[in-house]
Amino acid sequence: MARFRRIISIFLRKTMEINPEIIGFIAGGLSSALFIPQIIKILREKSAEEISLLTCIIGIVSSALWLWYGILQDHISMMVTNSIAVAATAVLVVLRLIYNGEKN
């Protein structure tokens, strides 16, 4: 247990030396990247029947609010990554509407 505490202590000390914007870009980039595999799958299969429009709409609203917050707080990482998330979710909505759950 003491070894675990020491490792956590070292990690936290090292983390504090990193620019928080870098962590924001990494976290936001990974969150935005969540949409890419789904978009690729829809384009390959030409079917979007498993995509929930409600989930996409909630995602767009959520990302748009985070984007707005990032603008108000002048957080570049939040602005960039949430812009990408809004765009990616909008692509999912468009694909859902195009394929409308019908397998071609």
The answer as to whether 6 is a domain residue is no
Give the range of the structural domain holding residue 82, as residue numbers without chain letter.
20-99
Number of domains in the chain: 1
In sequence order, the 6+-apart residues with CB closer than 8 A to the CB of 57 are 93
The answer as to whether 41 is a domain residue is yes
The answer as to whether 78 is a domain residue is yes
The answer as to whether 4 is a domain residue is no
Domain of 60: which CATH number?
1.20.1280.290
Secondary structure of residue 88 in the 3-state scheme: helix
The answer as to whether 3 is a domain residue is no
pTM recorded for the entire structure? 0.74
pLDDT in tens, 50-77: 889 999 999 999 999 999 999 999 999 9
The answer as to whether 81 is a domain residue is yes
